[in-house]
Amino acid sequence: MSIQERDLERSGRAELEREVSLLRERLEASQRAIDAQRKELDMRDSRMVSLETELRTSSTSIHSASTRLNMLMETMTKLLGNDSKYLLSEEEIRNRIEELILVRREYKLVSSVFN
């Protein structure tokens, strides 16, 4: 083998080593990028689970509050003496309570006059 062939072989080998080194660096960079994406996906998955749990809790709370409100409306309708099958609206309940307060005040006033 001549000196020229040996020099060509060495330069070719050096070029291949540089290319292998460059490819390894790219591979490592790609692996770091993949790891970062996986970490981000794991964080998003965790956040999604947290939000789903929060949604279920909120939904349960809303359902519970709605049920309690309906029970209160039924009770108020019964207590205010509405014989209807239908629940009174908030405004109707407020008006009926105001009427009862006025009647009570009038009763007290009349009672104080006669006593």
The domain limits of the chain are 3-79, 85-115
The pLDDT tens digits for 49-62 are 999 999 999 999 99
pTM of the model: 0.58
pLDDT in the model for residue 104: 93
The rounded distance, in Å, linking the Cα atoms of 7 and 3 is 6
What are the angstrom distances between the C-alpha of 28 and each of 63, 72, 79?
52, 65, 76
- What CA–CA distance (Å, rounded) separates 68 from 62? 10
pLDDT of residue 115: 67
